[in-house]
A = this chain, B = another copy of it.
Amino acid sequence: MIRLFTLREYRFFCYTHTRMSSFLPKSIQNLIDEFSRLPGIGPKTAERLAIHLLHSPHSKIVGLGESVLNMKEGVEFCAKCWHLADDSLCHVCRDEARNRGVICVVEHVLDVVAIEKSRAFSGVYHVLHGVLSPMDGIGPEDLKLYELEKRVKEGDVREVVLAVNPSVEGETTALYITKMLRPYEGVRVTRIARGLPVGGELGYADESTISRAIVGRMGVE
């Protein structure tokens, strides 16, 4: 009797079989395995990266290896805004010129970097380190929400700009913060504008972006 594999079984067989028997020296296969565990890097890209490094000068290999090992050296979270910092305070919170009356609330560290690169914001930040997501068991106590309320309570904050992403979880988090800050009179809660990106064409934009762009239209000065 001939036993036929299903496509799924066949793929699994190929996968395990290829993994078990390596066709490259062990130290290089180790590196390929480590690279392919990184997000967005598949086995083929990992192979190419490893072979590229193999043909690179020794200094480049040492540079990358030591940067990885030392990456956490001296890195802390800013005691005020929870951004990454070299010291107890991050570069934004240390900067005397920043407007401490305006706090921009973001989900992640890289959102701060993205906004800083735009050079359009002169206030300070607050990094939540996530969004509310009951499905994944992430509640208010898992985020830096209490710390945000404390900052609003203590300092003379005039405005809190919500720059969370427009996902279901982001919207929930925005709503939570709006409610949380309602008792504080004199604190205005705003959201960054959603609309057509600069260079984006109307014909290619999705319905909800166009709808947000129309609702959020501004007077021409």
Interface residues of A (CB under 8 A from B): 18, 23-28, 30-31, 33-35, 37-41, 45, 47-54, 58, 60-75, 84-86, 91, 108-110, 112-113, 116-117
Contact = CB atoms under 8 A, between A and B. Distances in A.
A19 B94 CA distance: 20
B48 A110 contact: yes
B66 A27 contact: no
B39 A71 contact: no
Given A23-B91, A23-B117, A25-B74, A68 B84 contact: no
B38 A110 contact: no
A68 B64 contact: yes
B30 A67 contact: yes
- Chain copies in the assembled complex: 2
B61 A28 contact: no
Contact of A63 (B34, B52, B62): B34
Nearest to A24: B84
A147 B63 CA distance: 34
B117 A71 contact: no
Contacts of A116: 23
Contact of A64 (B34, B40, B58, B75): B34
B50 A40 contact: no
A71 B27 contact: yes
A74 B27 contact: yes
B49 A113 contact: no
